[in-house]
Structure 1
Amino acid sequence: MAIRPIIKFPNPLLNMATNAVNQFDEDLQRLADDLVETMRAAPGIGITAAHIGILKRVTVIELDRESGPRVFVNPEIVWRSGQTARHSEGSVSMPGVSEDVERPACVRVRYQTLLGETREEEASGLMAVCLQHEIDQLDGLFWTRRLSRLKRERAVKRFEKMRAAAVD
């Protein structure tokens, strides 16, 4: 397992859709393990392969260490509730910046395991937020694009200021 470098906003790879995984092998397991280590080191509760510059449809989510990490390969949302909820979101590729995002409160997701088995499950609360956030990223939709233009511009300016201050 290795901690991989995380690409930072506004890297164009963050706006690219990822490719479906077709091989369920040791390389995929190694990628998942590296994503877990990288996410924990960031620190974060979710990360995609795109965050480390690999355009494969893989995400890892760990809401708490007790429950452990969950790996979702080729995830897709197959149902969204009509009810919405607001939650503070951010990204390991834009550390230090967060904003409230409104999303469906519940979703049903179809995905594959590291062994290639297809599963479907419903999620609500923080898991629903994370799944939607990470699947957006896998689709090339960086989280700030879910914000109003004004909030997006404010978030980008805050991040640019923080990056400039870190360089000085």
Structure 2
Amino acid sequence: MRSDHEEVLLRNPALGACAFWHLSRMFSEYGFGRAPELPYFLIAAGMIFHGGTMEKVRRMQFDSGILKAVSDRPDIVAGLQRRMEDYSLLALEALQVGSAAGILQREGGEGFPSFRAIGTDLPKPIRYGEGSVPDIFNCAKRLGAWFAAEKINMLQKQLNIEL
């Protein structure tokens, strides 16, 4: 068995869809009803599925912001570009699963598509999880709140990434 067996199992489109629902819900709440566009999900995938980032972010206050997290834990930025690229397919699959399952709604418009969380909570069978799942959901919630306060070009500069 691989040493990262549990971590690999956690990285799947169904979990990603649920995490993205939380991200989208908080983004809309803190972003005055706006839905996050595709690039936010690509960035989030590189952060949510990174153990160090998830551990730091899930414990922070909603009003702390991304700059506080990065200044406290520089490893959030170190390797983020590579992680985003590694998890981009997983992020796209998660958005597809979320849309097909009816928990995310794809919205068009100019530029990138956006994805809106449907409902006020996830359906009961997928609402809770064991192990690291609640931590991943908490991380996604905070990222959604923080991303709503930042334009994508500012996030790129703060996180030293390219889309």
Superposition TM-score tier, normalisation by shorter sequence: under 0.3
Q: Output the TM-score relative to the length of structure 2.
A: 0.26
More helix by share: 2
- Over alpha carbons, which structure has the higher Rg? 1
Q: Determine which structure has the larger strand proportion and give its number.
A: 1
Q: Quick one: higher RCO (CA 8 Å, sep 6+), 1 or 2? A: 2
